[in-house]
Amino acid sequence: MLWLSEGDGYRVKGPMKYINHSAKPNAVYYDDFTVVALRNIKADEEITHYYGEGWD
């Protein structure tokens, strides 16, 4: 689940379900589910996003 706010979630399907948490992410996604790289991501490098507090 991708929680947009308390009680408002989206069941993630497809490639986005493989984006993992990191305190130092290399990607971000927006409310319309657009994924944007924050820096160059090398081939075979894991794509990460900051999920928020409490995920470390």
**pLDDT of 7:** 79
Question: Is the pLDDT confidence value at 56 over 70?
Answer: no
**Whether the predicted model's global pTM rises above the 0.85 cut:** no
Bigger pLDDT: 18 vs 49? 49
Mean pLDDT, residues 5-27 taken together: 82
Mean pLDDT, residues 30-43 taken together: 90
**pLDDT of 1:** 67
Give the contacts of 24 (CB within 8 A, at least 6 positions apart): 48
CA distances from 25 to 6, 19, 56 (A): 22, 10, 12
